[in-house]
């Protein structure tokens, strides 16, 4: 978590991005949310992003504005050394979601079971990560930023508390923690005001990439210069995160064979499904308290309308995360027979942008279970009905926990066995049982 020192930081750049939030007296209202205190309201995050990029809320004007961004290419530098270094305080932002005092806003986040829609939280985190990145690269001399900053990866979201109250104020804080030449790591923390104090809810790490104004090639971002030993330690953690991501990518089951221990696991699963009454590799039976992986799927379809666009005229990454999460949650709920709670989100890779007008196919698969934990993988792809081609756009990984033990998931094919092992890897990384 950020120290109290970072929670009190207010840089000039961050202050210029804030707006005022007026809240009435309410049990779930934080005491610092009062008239005269400048705060960034969650509803203004995307408005500020539109100002930075020059996007419009009107569809026809928006298309013209995006086409006009090509002229900003001359503002890009040819080397990262041409950009001034920034410290972490330059990108620090605090954003408030006043569920305790704005009933109309609360309605947007409310579920039928009187809890908070976590998919909406994912949307807010995605928008905030982009704004944090733009705060790091902010140049007051430019009316519009020539950079197109988009989400490349949701590295990890760790839940620190399952209960999120629908009538208590929420606060997001975050800043840039590591920078490469064209990439940015942003960490965010979400807390909620309850029983007289803010309690931590989740920690999130996003990786963003900077592109040129037309979003066609990489663009340089301001280097990050840690200010003091505390920032240096945070920066080292960012370096370690990058090394871990490279290592995990190298060891992907799509590239290399399973380890010896993993091969033994797959063989054990296979032997456990053989019919002892026959001497055949083809005769398979389902063990007790188990479900075939093939029977633990749930699919969905979304038509991508202009309403779901981001500031760069593509489908908003937060919308994709929300739809994937809701499908994954529904699958875990159906599989476990009760309403599950989210434990972690990790390794959401944005492989390709989703264009407006696409047919988005979502496929959710329970790929690993252990005791009362359910690991769900959601695969998204766009389908062109004219060419009948499928292209993967995202892969999502969610870890849920149920209030009871769940059936064992059993693969039948080699491909399903790889999904099982991949799910086990993600589970071990997030839960570590």
- Kindly state the average pLDDT of the residues 225-237: 90
Q: pLDDT at residue 417 above 70?
A: yes
- Kindly state the average pLDDT of the residues 9-16: 37
Q: pLDDT at residue 65 above 80?
A: no
Asked whether the beta carbons of 169 and 33 are under 8 A apart, the reply is: yes
The SS3 of residue 321 is helix
Q: What is the pLDDT of residues 335-368, one digit of tens each?
A: 998 899 999 998 888 888 888 888 999 999 999 9
The span from the CA of 252 to the CA of 152, in Å, is 18
- Kindly state the average pLDDT of the residues 153-176: 91
What would the two tokens of residue 30 be? Answer: 């934080």
The span from the CA of 431 to the CA of 387, in Å, is 42
What would the two tokens of residue 228 be? Answer: 């003091």
Residue 141, beta-bridge partner list = none
Query: How many residues would you count in the chain?
Result: 433
Mean pLDDT lowest among 175-189, 245-259, 416-430: 245-259
Q: What is the pLDDT of residues 183-227, one digit of tens each?
A: 999 999 999 998 889 999 999 999 999 998 888 889 999 999 998
Q: Per-residue confidence at 56, pLDDT binned at 50, 70, 90? A: low
The share of the chain scoring above pLDDT 70, in percent, equals 87
Residue 284, beta-bridge partner list = 274
What would the two tokens of residue 277 be? Answer: 């009454």
93-97 and 170-179 beta bridge pairing: antiparallel
Asked whether the beta carbons of 178 and 242 are under 8 A apart, the reply is: yes
Residue 159, beta-bridge partner list = 202
Which residues neighbour 69 within 8 Å (Cβ) at sequence distance 6 or greater? 53, 54, 144, 146, 148, 213, 214
- Kindly state the average pLDDT of the residues 51-67: 71
Q: What is the pLDDT of residue 386?
A: 81
Q: What is the pLDDT of residue 38?
A: 46
Burial (0-12, 13-18, 19+ Cβ within 10 Å), 337:
exposed
**Domains of the chain, CATH where assigned:** 4-249 (3.10.129.10), 258-430 (3.10.129.10)
Q: What is the pLDDT of residue 47?
A: 85
Q: What is the DSSP letter of 287?
A: P
- Kindly state the average pLDDT of the residues 374-398: 90
The span from the CA of 41 to the CA of 27, in Å, is 19
Angle between helices 118-136 and 45-53 (to 10 degrees): 40
The span from the CA of 125 to the CA of 189, in Å, is 9
Burial (0-12, 13-18, 19+ Cβ within 10 Å), 7:
middle
Question: How many angstroms separate the Cα of 387 from the Cα of each of 2, 82, 192, 411?
Answer: 49, 45, 48, 32
- Kindly state the average pLDDT of the residues 252-257: 86
Q: Where are the alpha helices (DSSP H) in 58-138?
A: 59-68, 103-109, 118-136
The span from the CA of 59 to the CA of 309, in Å, is 10
Q: What is the pLDDT of residues 268-299, one digit of tens each?
A: 999 888 887 776 767 788 899 999 999 999 99
DSSP notation for 84-101: --B-GGGG-EEEEE-TTT
Please report, in angstroms and rounded to a whole number, the separation of the first and last CA atoms in the chain.
23
The span from the CA of 115 to the CA of 90, in Å, is 34
Q: What is the pLDDT of residues 102-151, one digit of tens each?
A: 888 999 999 888 889 999 999 999 999 999 999 999 988 888 889 999 99
Asked whether the beta carbons of 239 and 178 are under 8 A apart, the reply is: yes
What would the two tokens of residue 354 be? Answer: 């989703």
Mean pLDDT lowest among 65-74, 128-137, 167-176: 65-74
What is the pLDDT of the chain when averaged over all its residues?
85
User: pLDDT higher for 61 or 421?
Assistant: 421
User: pLDDT higher for 26 or 18?
Assistant: 26
């Amino acid at each position: 978590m950020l120290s109290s020192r970072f929670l009190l930081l207010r840089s000039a750049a961050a202050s210029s991005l804030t707006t005022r939030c007026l809240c009435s007296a309410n049990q779930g209202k934080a005491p610092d949310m009062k008239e005269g205190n400048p705060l960034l309201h969650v509803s203004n995050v995307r408005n500020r992003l539109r100002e930075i990029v020059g996007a419009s809320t009107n569809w026809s004007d928006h298309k013209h504005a995006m086409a006009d961004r090509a002229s900003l290419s001359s503002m890009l530098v040819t080397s990262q050394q041409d950009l001034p270094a920034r410290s972490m305080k330059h990108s620090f932002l605090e954003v408030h979601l006043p569920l305790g005092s704005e009933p109309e806003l609360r309605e947007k986040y409310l579920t039928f079971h009187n809890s908070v829609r976590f998919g909406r939280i994912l949307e807010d985190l995605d928008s905030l990560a982009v704004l944090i990145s733009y705060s790091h690269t902010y140049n007051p001399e430019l009316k519009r930023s020539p950079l197109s900053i988009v989400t490349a990866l949701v590295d990890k979201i760790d839940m620190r508390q399952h209960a999120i109250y629908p009538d208590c104020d929420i606060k997001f804080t975050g800043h840039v923690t590591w920078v490469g030449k064209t990439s940015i790591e942003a960490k965010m923390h979400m807390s909620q005001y309850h029983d007289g104090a803010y309690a931590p809810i989740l920690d999130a790490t996003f990786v963003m990439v900077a592109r040129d104004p037309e979003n066609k090639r990489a663009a340089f971002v301001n280097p990050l210069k840690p200010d003091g030993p505390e920032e240096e330690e945070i920066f080292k953690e960012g370096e370690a995160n990058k090394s871990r991501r490279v290592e995990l990518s190298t060891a992907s089951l799509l590239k290399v064979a399973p380890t010896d221990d993993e091969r033994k696991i797959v063989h054990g699963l296979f032997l456990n499904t053989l019919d002892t009454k026959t001497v055949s590799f083809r005769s398979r039976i389902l063990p007790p308290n188990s479900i075939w992986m093939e029977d633990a799927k749930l699919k969905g379809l979304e038509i991508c309308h202009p309403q779901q666009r981001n500031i760069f005229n593509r489908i908003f990454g937060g919308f994709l995360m929300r739809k994937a999460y809701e499908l994954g949650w529904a699958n875990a709920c159906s599989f476990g027979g009760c309403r599950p709670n989210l434990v972690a989100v990790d390794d959401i890779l944005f492989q390709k942008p989703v264009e407006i007008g696409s047919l988005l196919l979502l496929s959710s698969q329970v790929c690993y279970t252990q005791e009362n934990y359910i690991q769900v993988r959601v695969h998204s792809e766009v389908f062109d009905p004219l060419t009948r081609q499928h292209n993967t756009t995202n892969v999502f990984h969610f870890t849920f926990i149920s209030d009871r033990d769940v059936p064992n998931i059993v693969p039948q094919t080699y491909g399903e066995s790889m999904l099982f092992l991949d799910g086990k890897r993600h589970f071990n990384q997030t839960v570590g049982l």
